[in-house]
């Protein structure tokens, strides 16, 4: 795939004058199976901006420039070992208009209402794709974020709505990637507990949601102690992918954690975003190549 020329002016002009072009591009997109011939899944995540999470490491607005983000995404998608992208509709629509999603997996992010740093962060409403939108657009699946704070009533609303969304996805035979965390507030700031006990608990809760788990995948972080991952992942037989998260600049340590987790029997691949799109040396192609090599 050749890297498309990206013109924000042209994208805006198309959207303004021919909004139907998005649906037309989705209809003619060449689709593929979720799991390719290699048997592994490498997805680039770019759904952070819609939740107001624009920072990468010490760069507070790293993901705020849309042209820059699209350029980095197209560069990552150009690698044959990258299977696809996870994003919200605004980004996937741009990529569709650019013709960058042919023969790639396209996953839609569904609940982005828990804005980063907000008082209502854990009442994480489904403000993005609905299952019907994913089906209509011919996308290959969806993703939801499930953060559970035992001290915050907002978590119950998210838990309940997540279960019903999983039901709706299963009715349409669409895979849904559930990203579960046990979360806690410290001095008003929400953080995810990556201890072995907390990650195991979140996996057990997420696995039991809805009336069927037939189309449910798990999107799981590496625990604080990577050596705990084997017993943590034994909590479920659902297919899983390892999420990348922000590496805080220590790419080599992150690669080693992912390498170990990828050896576990239920782990099918990686879903990584900021650490590959915005590596410390800004060499996107090299970061993607290294991550693909882990598979």
| Cα dihedral across residues 237, 240, 245, 247: positive or negative | positive
Supply the pLDDT for residue 248. 67
State the sign of the Cα–Cα–Cα–Cα dihedral 186, 144, 29, 26: negative
Q: How far apart are the first and last CA of the chain?
A: 21
Distance between CA atoms of residues 25 and 3, nearest Å: 17
What is the rounded distance in angstroms from the CA atom of residue 137 to the CA atom of residue 151?
38
CATH superfamily of 8-294: Aldolase class I (3.20.20.70)
Distance between CA 217 and CA 107 in Å, rounded? Answer: 12
Residues 6+ apart with CB under 8 A from 239: 217, 218, 266, 268
> Which of 111, 106, 83 has the alpha carbon at shortest distance from 93?
106
- 30-61 pLDDT, tens digit per residue, is 999 999 888 999 999 999 999 999 999 888 99
pLDDT tens per residue, the chain (295 residues)? 456 689 999 999 999 999 999 999 999 999 999 998 889 999 999 999 999 999 998 889 999 999 999 999 999 999 999 999 999 999 999 999 999 999 999 999 999 999 999 999 999 999 999 999 999 999 999 999 999 999 998 899 999 999 999 999 999 999 999 999 999 999 889 999 999 999 999 999 999 999 999 999 999 999 999 999 999 999 999 999 999 876 666 788 889 999 999 999 999 999 999 999 999 999 999 999 999 999 8
Per-residue model confidence (pLDDT) at position 2: 54
β-pairing verdict for 84-87 and 141-148: unpaired
Q: How far apart are CA 175 and CA 139, in angstroms?
A: 10
- Both tokens assigned to 266: 């239920």
Total Cβ atoms within 10 A of residue 31: 14
Q: Which residue has the tokens 């299977």?
A: 83
Tokens of 267: 């782990």
User: 189-193 and 176-186: which strand pairing?
Assistant: antiparallel
- pTM, whole model, 2 decimals? 0.95
What pLDDT does 3 receive? Answer: 63
d(CA 199, CA 176): 19
State the pLDDT at residue 1. 44
């Amino acid at each position: 795939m050749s890297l498309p020329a990206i013109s924000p002016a042209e994208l805006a002009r198309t959207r303004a004058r021919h909004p139907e072009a998005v649906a037309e591009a989705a209809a003619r997109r060449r689709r593929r199976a979720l799991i390719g011939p290699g048997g592994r899944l490498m997805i680039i995540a770019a759904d952070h901006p819609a939740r107001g999470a624009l920072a990468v490491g010490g760069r507070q607005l790293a993901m705020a420039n849309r042209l820059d983000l699209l350029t980095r995404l197209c560069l990552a998608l150009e690698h044959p070992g990258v299977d696809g992208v996870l994003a919200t509709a605004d980004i996937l629509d741009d990529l569709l208009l650019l013709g960058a999603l042919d023969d790639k997996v396209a996953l839609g992010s569904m609940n982005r209402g828990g804005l980063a740093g907000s008082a209502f962060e854990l009442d994480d409403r489904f403000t993005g794709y609905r299952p019907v939108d994913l089906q209509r657009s011919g996308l290959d699946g969806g993703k939801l974020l499930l953060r559970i704070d035992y001290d915050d009533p907002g978590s119950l609303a998210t838990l309940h709505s997540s279960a019903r969304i999983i039901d709706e996805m299963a009715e349409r035979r669409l895979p849904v990637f559930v990203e579960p965390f046990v979360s806690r507030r410290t001095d008003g700031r929400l953080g995810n507990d990556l201890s072995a006990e907390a990650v195991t608990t979140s996996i057990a809760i997420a696995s039991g949601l809805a009336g069927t788990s037939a189309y449910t995948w798990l999107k799981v972080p590496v625990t604080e102690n990577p050596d705990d991952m084997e017993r943590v992942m034994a909590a479920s037989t659902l297919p899983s992918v390892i999420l990348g998260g922000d590496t805080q600049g220590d790419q080599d340590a992150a690669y080693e954690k992912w390498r170990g987790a990828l050896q576990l029997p239920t782990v099918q691949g990686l879903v990584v975003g900021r650490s590959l799109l915005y590596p410390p040396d800004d060499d996107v192609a090299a970061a993607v190549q290294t991550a693909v090599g882990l598979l």
